[in-house]
Structure 1
């Protein structure tokens, strides 16, 4: 649902803070 998507988007945005420009996957964000 939308809440799950929103939580994932917020988590990914928080993870990106301070990271250099580049291509990242959800595996990077989730540490998989």
Structure 2
């Protein structure tokens, strides 16, 4: 794997975890 591929995978994981964190917060705010 190239360095660029490693960085892209890391960014994708960070974005996934950010979605997982923000989704419940949005639900609480609307609740």
TM-score between both structures, scaled by the size of structure 2: 0.54
Gaps of 5+ in 1: 21-32
**Structure with larger RCO (C-alpha < 8 A, sep 6+):** 1
TM-score between both structures, scaled by the size of structure 1: 0.53
Larger radius of gyration: 2
Aligned pair count reads 20
More helix by share: 2
Gaps of 5+ in 2: 1-6
Structure 1 vs Structure 2 CA RMSD: 0.9
